[in-house]
C-alpha cells in the first residue's frame, strides 16, 4: 500500500493517474500536482467517474526545488513519478534527494536552451542516489522504456548476443488535423529536428535530420510505411548494456503531410528554441508555436487507428543466427474508450505506472540511478500483458 506523487497533468499524467487508480492494491493513495491545478482537478474528476477513486490535487512549479520539497514533506509519498517536461528532471531529482524519496521519469533531462538528448546529467546523480539510499528509474515510458525491456527480455530468453537492433516506432493513426503532434509539441519538434545518430561498430555516426528512410512492412494489417532514422535517447544506454551490440538504430514513421508542414515551420524559423525580440519582449518561437497548435490531449476523441512500436533484433543463439521482432500494437480508439486519451499518451502512461509498481513492490529496487534494461524484464513483460499493452514476439 503506497502513496504516489505524480507530477505533470498533461496527456501522459492523465493516463498515469487512471492506470494507478486501476491498481488500488499498490497505489492506495494518488496525488497529482502540476503547474495548472485546474488540469489536475479535471483529471481527478474523470478518475473518480471511471474508477471511483479519489485523486488529491495540488498546484506545483516543479522548477522550484523548495516548492517540490515542501509538497513531498506534506504528502509523504513513497515515490515521485515525474511526467512533467524533461526540463524539470534535475530539479525533481534534487527534491527527491533532499527528502529521500524514490524517483521515476519517462524522458531524459534536456536543458531548455539546447536540444540535447543525453543521460549524462542524470547519470551524474548515481553516487548521490546510492549514498542517500534511494532509487531513480529513468525512461519508463514506451520508447524509452518498453523498448529497453523488450531488448532485455530478448537478451535473457532468445539470444547469446544481439548484434543488430532497430527500434521502429510507427503511428499508423490519423487525427484529421493538418498538423499536430501527439505529445508535447515543443519536446516533440526539438527531438525530430535534431541531427540523426546511430551506433555502428563502437562509435556514433551522424546523419542530417530525417535524411535516411526505409520502408517497413508492419504486422497485423498495418502494412508498409516509410520510417525515418532519428536519434533517440534509449540508444545511449542500450549500447552500453546489451551484450555484443554492433549496430543500433531508431526509426519513426512520419506522413509526407507532417514532414512538409515541419519543413515550412523550420524554414520560416518557427522551430527556433532561442528567444527573439517581438514588440519589445522576448519570445521563443517554438513556445509560441506550441501555444497555437492543438493540445495533444485534445486529440483523444479525434484519433483513429493504431500504433505499432517494436524492436527488430538480429543476433546469435547456440551458434545459430536469429532474427526476432518483439512489438506491441495499441489502438487509439480503445485507449480513448478506456482512459480518455489517444494511444501515444497511453503507451507512455501505462509503462510509467508499471515501472512505479515494480519499484513499490520491490521487484525492481536497487539504490542508485538505473535504466530499464538493467532489471529483470520478466515481471514487467507480464504486467504489460495485464495492464493494456499486450506484446508479441515473432521469429523472422
Phi-psi region of 214 (alpha: psi -120 to 50; beta: other; left: phi over 0): beta
Minimum Å gap between C-beta 186 and ligand NDP is 8
User: Using an 8 Å Cβ cutoff, are 97 and 129 in contact?
Assistant: yes
Nearest-approach distance from CB 321 to ligand NDP, in angstroms: 30
Instruction: Select 113 or 161, whichever has its Cβ closest to ligand NDP.
Output: 113
Residues forming beta bridges with residue 369, ordered by sequence position: 136
Cβ closer to ligand NDP: 80 or 159?
Answer: 80
Q: Examine residue 307 and tell whether it contacts ligand NDP (CB under 6 A).
A: no
CB 229 within 8 A of CB 253: no
Q: For residues 97 and 322, which CB has a smaller minimum distance to ligand NDP in the complex?
A: 97
Q: Is 203 exposed, middle or buried (0-12, 13-18, 19+ CB in 10 A)?
A: exposed
Going across the sheet that includes 368-371, the strands are 55-59, 27-34, 2-7, 79-82, 102-105, 135-138, 368-371
CA–CA separation, 241 and 251 (whole Å): 20
Residue 61 binding ligand NDP, by CB under 6 A: yes
E-strand spans in the chain?
Answer: 2-7, 27-34, 55-59, 79-82, 102-105, 135-138, 161-171, 196-200, 203-207, 213-218, 223-230, 247-253, 276-278, 281-283, 306-317, 320-331, 368-371, 391-395
DSSP state of 79: E
Instruction: Check binding of 85 to ligand NDP (CB under 6 A).
Output: yes
Q: In angstroms, what is the minimal distance from the CB of 383 to ligand NDP?
A: 16
310 binds ligand NDP (CB under 6 A): no
83 binds ligand NDP (CB under 6 A): yes
Q: Which of 57, 78, 88, 331 binds ligand NDP (CB under 6 A)?
A: 88
**10 binds ligand NDP, rule: CB under 6 A:** yes
Residue from 2, 22, 34, 237 binding ligand NDP (CB under 6 A): 34
Question: Which is closer to ligand NDP, CB of 270 or CB of 293?
Answer: 293
Residue choice 19, 35, 175, 232 for contact with ligand NDP (CB under 6 A): 35
Task: Please say which residue, 32 or 242, places its beta carbon nearer to ligand NDP.
Answer: 32
User: In whole angstroms, how close is the CB of 180 to ligand NDP at the nearest point?
Assistant: 12
The binding track of 145-174 with respect to ligand NDP, each residue x by CB under 6 A or -, is x-----------------------------
SS3 172: coil
Cβ atoms of residues 9 and 36 within 8 Å? yes
Could you give the C-alpha distances from 287 to 63, 73, 111, 113, 274, in angstroms and in order? 17, 33, 15, 12, 10
Name the closest residue to ligand NDP (Cβ): 10
Decide: is 142 part of the binding site for ligand NDP (CB under 6 A).
Answer: yes
Cα–Cα distance, 69 to 82 (Å, whole number): 14
First to last CA, the chain: 43
Question: Using CB under 6 A, which of 5, 9, 165, 189 touches ligand NDP?
Answer: 9
For the CB of residue 160, give the shortest distance to ligand NDP in the complex, in Å.
Answer: 29
Window of 136-144, 195-203, 219-227, 323-331 that interacts with ligand NDP by CB under 6 A: 136-144
Distance CA 2, CA 80 (A): 11
Binding mask 333-362 vs ligand NDP (x if CB under 6 A, - otherwise)?
Answer: ---------------x--------------
Taking the complex as a whole, how short is the minimal distance between the CB of residue 17 and ligand NDP, in angstroms?
11
Contact 345, 388 (CB under 8 A): no
We find the least distance from the C-beta atom of residue 274 to ligand NDP, in angstroms, to be 19
DSSP string, 182-238: SS-HHHHHHHHTSPEEEEETTEEEEE-TT--EEEEEETTTTEEEEEEEE--THHHHH
Tell which one of 86, 315, 355, 368 touches ligand NDP (CB under 6 A).
Answer: 86
Tell me how far apart the alpha carbons of residues 171 and 225 are, in angstroms, rounded to a whole number. Answer: 10
Give the range of 115-123, 143-151, 171-179, 263-271 binding ligand NDP by CB under 6 A. Answer: 143-151
Cβ closest to ligand NDP, residue 296 vs residue 300 = 296
Interacting residues with ligand NDP (CB under 6 A): 7-13, 34-36, 39, 60-63, 83-86, 88, 106-107, 139, 141-145, 183-184, 187, 296-297, 348
Amino acid at each position: 500500500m503506497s502513496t504516489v506523487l505524480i507530477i505533470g497533468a498533461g496527456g501522459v499524467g492523465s493516463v498515469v493517474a487512471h492506470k494507478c487508480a486501476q491498481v488500488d492494491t499498490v497505489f492506495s493513495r494518488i496525488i497529482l500536482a502540476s503547474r495548472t491545478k485546474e488540469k489536475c482537478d479535471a483529471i481527478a474528476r474523470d478518475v473518480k467517474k471511471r474508477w471511483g477513486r479519489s485523486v488529491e490535487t495540488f498546484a506545483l512549479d516543479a522548477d522550484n526545488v523548495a516548492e517540490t520539497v515542501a509538497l513531498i514533506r506534506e504528502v509523504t509519498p513513497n515515490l515521485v513519478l515525474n511526467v512533467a517536461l524533461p526540463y524539470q528532471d534535475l530539479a525533481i531529482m534534487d527534491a527527491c534527494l533532499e527528502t529521500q524519496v524514490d524517483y521515476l521519469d519517462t524522458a531524459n533531462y534536456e536543458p531548455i536552451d539546447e536540444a540535447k538528448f543525453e543521460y549524462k546529467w542524470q547519470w551524474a546523480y548515481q553516487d548521490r542516489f546510492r549514498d542517500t539510499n534511494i532509487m531513480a528509474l529513468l525512461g519508463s515510458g514506451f520508447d524509452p522504456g518498453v523498448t529497453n525491456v523488450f531488448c532485455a527480455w530478448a537478451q535473457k530468453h532468445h539470444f547469446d548476443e544481439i548484434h543488430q537492433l532497430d527500434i521502429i516506432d510507427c503511428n499508423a493513426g490519423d487525427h484529421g488535423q493538418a498538423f499536430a503532434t501527439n505529445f508535447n509539441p515543443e519536446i516533440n519538434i526539438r527531438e525530430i529536428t535534431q541531427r540523426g545518430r546511430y551506433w555502428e561498430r563502437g562509435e556514433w555516426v551522424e546523419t542530417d535530420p530525417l535524411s535516411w528512410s526505409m520502408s517497413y512492412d508492419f504486422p497485423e494489417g498495418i502494412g508498409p510505411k516509410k520510417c525515418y532514422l532519428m536519434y533517440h535517447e534509449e540508444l545511449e544506454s542500450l549500447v552500453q548494456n546489451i551484450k555484443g551490440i554492433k549496430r543500433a538504430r531508431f526509426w519513426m514513421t512520419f506522413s509526407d503531410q507532417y514532414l512538409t508542414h515541419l519543413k515550412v515551420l523550420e524554414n520560416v524559423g518557427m522551430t527556433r528554441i532561442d528567444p527573439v525580440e517581438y514588440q519589445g519582449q522576448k519570445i521563443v518561437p517554438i513556445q509560441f508555436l506550441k501555444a497555437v497548435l492543438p493540445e495533444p490531449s485534445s486529440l483523444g476523441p479525434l484519433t483513429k487507428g493504431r500504433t505499432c512500436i517494436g524492436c527488430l533484433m538480429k543476433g546469435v543463439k547456440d551458434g545459430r543466427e536469429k532474427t526476432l521482432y518483439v512489438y506491441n500494437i495499441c489502438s487509439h480508439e480503445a485507449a480513448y474508450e478506456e482512459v480518455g486519451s489517444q494511444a501515444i499518451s497511453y503507451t507512455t502512461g501505462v509503462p510509467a505506472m508499471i515501472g512505479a509498481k515494480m519499484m513499490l513492490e520491490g521487484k525492481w529496487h536497487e539504490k542508485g540511478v538505473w535504466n530499464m534494461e538493467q532489471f529483470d524484464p520478466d515481471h514487467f513483460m507480464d504486467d504489460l500483458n495485464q495492464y493494456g499493452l499486450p506484446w508479441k514476439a515473432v521469429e523472422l
